Homo-oligomer: A and B are copies of this chain.
């Protein structure tokens, strides 16, 4: 599973941008971008934000995919993956931050 990298590549190609161009704005070299797109290396959180700006993409979408990749990495070989995710989800519900100024 490499949802983040796949999406980044998709967006980049849709907009006919070269790795060189995107990498430049991220201040990384093209080998690094290539690896991020293929899921061989993981982008930093700040880079995910930058990706969304460069690619005029939905920041929330990219962060979600980026997180999902990391989560999936942990549970991917586990029979109890779904159970574990549900437990984590419940904990998220429980400890959800109150919305500021709601």
Residues in B whose Cβ lies below 8 Å from that of A93: 82
Q: Which residues of A (47-65) have their CB < 8 Å from a CB of B?
A: 60, 63-65
Whether A91 lies near B72 (C-beta < 8 A) is yes
Count of chain A residues with a beta carbon within 8 Å of a chain B beta carbon: 32
Residues in B whose Cβ lies below 8 Å from that of A95: 1, 76
Instruction: Take A1-B91, A91-B1 as given contacts and tell me if A75 and B84 are in contact as well, using a CB distance cutoff of 8 Å.
Output: no
Instruction: Take A60-B80, A80-B60, A83-B64 as given contacts and tell me if A75 and B88 are in contact as well, using a CB distance cutoff of 8 Å.
Output: yes
29 CB contacts below 8 A, A to B, read: A1-B95, A60-B80, A64-B80, A65-B84, A65-B87, A67-B74, A67-B75, A67-B80, A67-B81, A67-B84, A67-B87, A68-B84, A68-B91, A70-B74, A71-B74, A71-B75, A71-B85, A72-B88, A72-B92, A74-B74, A75-B92, A76-B92, A81-B92, A82-B89, A82-B96, A85-B85, A85-B92, A86-B89, A89-B89
